[in-house]
Amino acid sequence: MRLASVPGIQRTGARAVARGFEHLLRLHEAGTGRVSVKILPGEYYATAQDEVITTVLGSCVSACIHDPEARVGGMNHFMLPEPSARRGRWGDTAAGRSARYGSDAMEQLVNTVLKAGGERGRLQVKIFGGGRVLARMTDIGARNVDFVRRYLDAESLLLAAEDVGGERPRQVRFYPVSGRAQVRRLNGLDDVGLADRERRYLKQLANDPIKGEVELF
């Protein structure tokens, strides 16, 4: 598929950048010339370019979605399943809501991949993360994994692969054109820093709720 035929893509210099994703950190990988796009909790990214999307997961979950015929795909990164007032409901995303919750992150990523040329019946999904890295707290990772499995079942989306649970953080690299994913488990020193970042993010969500939502914690 030629890049010019993919909706929602614009060229910036020698590269094309999907509109709405200009704020994401983009780095050129030495040796390959490939662009690496890093996403953080509450973010997602989809593209038809030969790039690699990266993230680091503890209790968070990332879904990697790919259409093998259109050769487009993307990844999200969410830390909480859904606001408690919306449990069990999909498709009612409020305007302006971020991808901080899985219920919104999944809808936004699926819709963006479809707009980029994917077809729902061809989508393949791989899920990663959901580890128990936050001691003395409820098992948020297990809740995230349960949520995304239920979502895929309710939406009749194919779960092609998963690497979830356990007690170790993961670094994930996803290649949206080929659908290939790489997972590396991180060591103990990385565990501490990631757990601290996840605690800060949970506190941020508690202190900055979206208007009208019921807080989970």
Per-residue pLDDT, averaged over 164-173, amounts to: 89
CA-nearest of 13, 16, 14, 21 to 1 is 16
Distance CA 155, CA 172 (A): 24
Mind telling me the catalytic residues? 60
- Does residue 176 surpass a pLDDT of 80? yes
- Taking the domains of the chain in order of start, what are their residue ranges? 16-207
pLDDT of residue 84: 57
Q: Which of 14-28, 158-172, 197-211 has the highest mean pLDDT?
A: 158-172
pLDDT of residue 195: 61
pLDDT of residue 192: 54
Which range (54-68, 81-95, 146-160) has the least confidence? 81-95
pLDDT tens across 37-59, in order? 999 988 999 999 999 999 989 88
Taking CA atoms, 148 is separated from 52, 137, 198, 200, in Å, by 22, 20, 19, 23
Structure tokens at 187: 């060591």
Other CB atoms within 10 Å distance of the CB of residue 185: 13
Which range (31-45, 58-72, 193-207) has the least confidence? 193-207
Q: Are 91 and 107 in contact (CB under 8 A)?
A: yes
Which range (82-86, 129-133, 155-159, 205-209) has the least confidence? 205-209
pLDDT tens across 122-146, in order? 999 999 999 987 666 678 899 999 9
Asked whether the CA dihedral 155, 178, 32, 173 is positive or negative, the reply is positive
- Does residue 156 surpass a pLDDT of 90? yes
Residue 86 phi, psi dihedral angles, 5° rounding: -115, 10
pLDDT tens across 79-110, in order? 888 775 554 444 443 333 466 789 899 999 99
Distance CA 56, CA 52 (A): 14
Structure tokens at 152: 């895929």
CA 153 to chain centre: 18
The hierarchical CATH code for the domain 16-207 is 3.30.1330.200
